[in-house]
Structure 1
Amino acid sequence: MLAGCKTTAPVHVWQPPQLAAEPAGVAFMGISGPDEWADPIEEALLAEQPLRWRLIAAEQLESPSNIRLVSGFEEEPNDVAVSAAARREGLRYLLHGEILQATGHEDRDDKVSLSWRLTGLHPDAESAGMPVSVDEALISQRYPHLLNIPDVAERTRRAVVLETKRLLTASVDRQQVTLASPRLSPGSRAIRRGNELARSGNWPAAEQRWQQVLESHPRSAAALINASIAAAARQDFTVAKERVTEAVRWSAFSPMNKSLAEETLFWIEMRQRDYHNAFDLPPPPEGWLISRGD
């Protein structure tokens, strides 16, 4: 039992865009909702655009008077007028935003829920939509650097911008991974020292410590499991799967290690799929070991 203890550590991994749409030119229709929330988010998205996308404010496609002549609302551009102008500019989508909920009171946590709709302008440009919801808990987990901003509303708006970009472009996500933390097996003290380094975010040093254990104890399932995660953290998934497959082999008589090794193999392959999807890469040369699909 003491040979199969576990601990956790944070690791950053790539995630594919949440909306299945090819990067393209977009007519940005703006955001409907309270101006104090909508306007800063609109300005930030136009100033700091998602990678490989081109957002153009609808008002810039034609003169504002031409667009608003056929609008149902005085200040909002009309889809029909903008669509025609967008096609002439070679754009493929319209992007709409709508704030569904926004709180900004000092006596309670801020929360913003915003619905995005991406409308295709061509038959091969599929439409899609997804909500974005941001509160202090999400900011603490995903964007801790924003906690340095003293104004709660401002850091919430910035988090909304970052969450919106995740819909359209690959992003880095922080996850907790499970590490083997043996107590009585050979090299266990050095393995646990590597775990401490990983928990502090120093994955290169942690991997070096686990590799030193493997030089003396090449059949250490715990060191192999942890070293496989370190390889995945630097996107060397081929080495990661080789190591964890070895861990499965050498943990036949340790049910806890075997279970953790199999779970780690699944986690590594899912992260490899995310990485390939994020950057539109073909399947790896060795293929997919435990999952199916292109």
Structure 2
Amino acid sequence: MQVEPSGVAFMGVSGPDEWADPIEEALLTEKLDGWRFIAADQLQDTATIRLVSATDEEPSDMAVSAAARQQGLRYLLHGEVLQATGHEDRKDKLIVSWRLTGLQPGAESAGMPVTIDEALIQQRYPHLLFLPNVAERTRQAAILETKRLLAANVDRQQVKLAAPKLLPGARAVRRGNALARSGNWPMAEKVWNEVLQKHPRNPAALINCAVAATARQDFTLAKQHVTEAVRRSALSPVNQSLAEETLVWIELRQRDYHQAFDLPPPPEGWLISRGD
């Protein structure tokens, strides 16, 4: 989550207690660099919080937000177990969706799913494979993966941007590329979109806008851009090859997203790969 560590009002984790409780306990008892977690029921003015609770057992986001702001907390964090299996006779899988809501000016909101299965445990947490109980090692991995989500780390995806030299708007496209390399993707996407407004057939701008849309998880728009780029690149083998490679990359990222949230195939279907 691309936010600065700070004070958080922790709403806990919704879902089965055997999965939610260990994650809650770990976040409240184990320190994370820069983060300060306070359970919702530990905030001041708890009587007011209970008065406007969504249920008798659980306070509402609105009630906790007011108390959290008064104490200078910057975010509200809530987790939800979307899928959990704990059977010893088959592969285990756990999906937890996290929502971080900004409470103060300049505090951006963010959300991210955490998906735990045996493949991820083998890759990132092989030491947990010594735990004989499948459900227990999945719970432990979920705690580590949640900490990783909040800790300072980067999951890099390497993708090639189109860099035209002779096409109309080429200089602006390259300027957008420089912004993207510096980390300013919102401004880069704005520049590429401005090129498309003036030169809607520019395949390089279409390709780069598709990459930017994928980064925002707008896969429908990304595929629209890149399929148009494939069509517009019929006379340019270099751009056509890059557009086709980008289409494959976009669909792989979309598949990861659908798998994380256990979503059905998109309405337009899978364009370049088969499967559910």
Instruction: Give 1:182-221 correspondences, 5 Å limit.
Output: none
Deviations 1:241-277 (A, max 9, x none): xxxxxxxxxxxxxxxxxxxxxxxxxxxxxxxxxxxxx
1:110 to 92, 97, 101: 92
Distance 2:131 2:46 in 1: 36
2:6 to 24, 32, 35: 24
2:38 to 56, 64, 73: 56
Deviations 1:31-88 (A, max 9, x none): 1111111111100111113221111111100365432221122221111221111112
Instruction: Give 1:1-294 correspondences, 5 Å limit.
Output: 19-62=1-44, 64-171=46-153
Q: Per-residue deviation at 1:123?
A: 2.2
Deviations 1:169-223 (A, max 9, x none): 12598xxxxxxxxxxxxxxxxxxxxxxxxxxxxxxxxxxxxxxxxxxxxxxxxxx
Distance 2:112 2:74 in 1: 18
Q: Per-residue deviation at 1:99?
A: 0.5
Distance 1:78 1:49 in 2: 25
Which amino acid is 1:123 matched to?
A: P
Distance 2:128 2:153 in 1: 16
How much identity, in percent, do the aligned residues show? 73
**RMSD across aligned positions (CA):** 1.7
Number of aligned residue pairs? 155
Which amino acid is 2:50 matched to?
A: R
Q: Is the 8 A contact 2:78 2:100 kept in 1?
A: yes
Which amino acid is 1:111 matched to?
A: K
Distance 1:64 1:106 in 2: 41
SS in 2 for 1:117: strand
Q: Per-residue deviation at 1:145?
A: 0.9
Distance 2:114 2:147 in 1: 10
SS in 1 for 2:98: strand
Change (3 A) 1:48 1:135: same
Which amino acid is 2:11 matched to?
A: M
Q: Is the 8 A contact 2:84 2:93 kept in 1?
A: yes
Distance 1:53 1:40 in 2: 18
Which amino acid is 1:133 matched to?
A: T
Higher-Rg structure is: 1
Distance 2:50 2:15 in 1: 18
Q: Is the 8 A contact 2:87 2:134 kept in 1?
A: no
Unaligned stretches of 5+ residues in structure 2: 156-276
Question: Whose relative contact order is higher, 1 or 2, with alpha carbons under 8 Å and at least 6 apart?
Answer: 1
Q: TM-score, normalised by structure 2?
A: 0.53
Distance 1:171 1:73 in 2: 36
SS in 1 for 2:107: coil
Which amino acid is 2:139 matched to?
A: R
SS in 2 for 1:31: strand
Which amino acid is 2:26 matched to?
A: A
Distance 2:33 2:12 in 1: 19
Deviations 1:101-126 (A, max 9, x none): 00011221111000000000012000
Unaligned stretches of 5+ residues in structure 1: 1-18, 174-294
Change (3 A) 1:89 1:64: closer
Distance 2:151 2:106 in 1: 19
